[in-house]
Amino acid sequence: MKTFFRNIHLYLSLVSGLIIAVVCLTGGILVFEKELEQAWHPERYFVAPVATPALPLERLTAAVKAYKADAKITGMKVYADPARTVEFNLAGAPGGPGGEHKGEGKEQKAEGRQGHEGRAEAGKGPQVAGQRAEGGREEGQGGKGGAEGKGGKGGGGEGGRGPVVFVNPYTATVTGELNYRETFFFTMMALHRGMVGGPIGKLIVGVSTVMFLFIILTGLVLWWPATRKAVKQRLQVKWTGGWKRLNHDLHIVLGFYSALFLFVFAFTGLAWSFEWFNKGIYAVTNSPMQRPEPPTSVVPGAATATPAVTPEAGAAPAPAVSGLTADAALARARELAPSSVYYSLQLPKDPTGSIRVATLRPNATYENATDEAYLDQYSGQVLSQQTYEQRNLGQRVRGLFKPVHTGSIWGWPSKIISLVVCVLGFTFPITGTILWLNRLRKQRRKQAKLVAA
């Protein structure tokens, strides 16, 4: 029976081993994406706090528009930490209008979290500083149909978000700009998910991941010791043995210790490869996958019942209705959640849209376990409100996939485990191939002896 499992283990490994090695290596690099990004570009994320209060968002917005005249601000993120910069999300794909500011290009090659989660969440990661710069929508917080918070055109998708501009809240100085698609970490993420090969590349990574699950399971079957005496041998690496024995133990013993973690990482990774897997999460949890449409704002005067009057030729147009300022929206958000770690404001796209406010509690389960509220863009009235606990079970389960997959679920301890396991996962196709080649040589020598005899 073990021969059957050994053949499955071998042939699946030969087919998918290279892909698995690349996925594990890039996954290991992405584990500390947020920390590395902030260490490489501290000026983007941190400032020296001063005794004077932070400038109003109106001043910071003017600084962003002076820095980029054609900038269209779609959202902003303000931290409770006085040592953090304010992040402004701009519309437009990097490289296009509103793309990278000339002169800043080469310095941005390192990335800056969906907050995402960030997914501007700059960090997988997690998102670095939040969701790839922490400016995007949190994982699982997308609009309609957004099981993953894919967002709309030009934002929130895999690398499709616009630039993020960082501003000193005390001096209104632009401290940096992040175009995620042009960073080293985006390249790693594209390799990790197979995006470099388009839909076919993602499919190849997804199929290889499924194979990896079977490789892990069959590996456990092959590891299982035949006798009690062999248990100790399967649990300890014999560092004093020859290179063949060491290679054998590195593959089998360390493979056993890392099997559970690799299985969890591979299983959760399927959510980024197959839509049917995401649908399955919501089906199993008996939860609706579609998110309700965001509530709409009431345009002042639009609902007044007055007879239709055709304006006279040359008559002046009706004055534009002024909406809630960003500072007023932030003040309203602070009233709703006074102790939040950050306040993320997503501005409406049209006159009837609402302002989306996402806040993170200090004791949140994970970085993207945010509460959200929608404000009328004219009156500031709360149109709808939802805490993380009020999300349906499917959204909460799906939201956990990213922090579990990236190892950020329990902070540094789980990240270190994730990094070690990813490095081991990278080595297993190598040590496994060496094991196979050694067996082939042994079989050939045995056959040669039989022929000679």
Give the alpha-carbon dihedral of 41, 49, 173, 357, to 10 degrees.
90
Round the CA-based radius of gyration of the chain to a whole number and report it.
26
pLDDT in tens, 350-405: 999 999 999 999 999 888 899 999 999 999 999 999 999 999 999 999 999 999 99
Q: Which of 32, 28, 18 is nearest to 423 (CA)?
A: 28
| Percent of the chain whose pLDDT exceeds 70 | 80
Predicted pLDDT of residue 24: 98
pTM of the model: 0.81
pLDDT in tens, 414-427: 999 999 999 999 99
How far does the chain reach from its first CA to its final CA, in angstroms?
31
Query: Which letter does DSSP use for residue 177 in this model?
Result: E
The helix, strand and coil proportions of the chain, stated in percent and rounded to the nearest 5, come to: 45, 10, 40
Q: Which of 120, 119, 74, 72 is nearest to 97 (CA)?
A: 72
Predicted pLDDT of residue 138: 41
Where do the H-state alpha helices sit in 46-197?
Answer: 57-67, 184-193
pLDDT in tens, 326-347: 999 999 999 999 999 999 999 9
| Average pLDDT score over residue span 431-442 | 93
Which stretch of 29-43, 119-133, 265-279 has the lowest confidence by average pLDDT?
A: 119-133
Q: Which of 149, 190, 220 is nearest to 401 (CA)?
A: 149
Q: Which of 114, 65, 54 is nearest to 91 (CA)?
A: 65
Q: Which of 48, 26, 8 is nearest to 426 (CA)?
A: 26
> How many Cβ atoms sit within 10 Å of the Cβ of residue 305?
4
Place of tokens 């300022």: 325
In this structure, which amino acid lies at residue 117? E
DSSP states along 143-173: STT-SS---STTSSSTTT---EEEE-TTT--
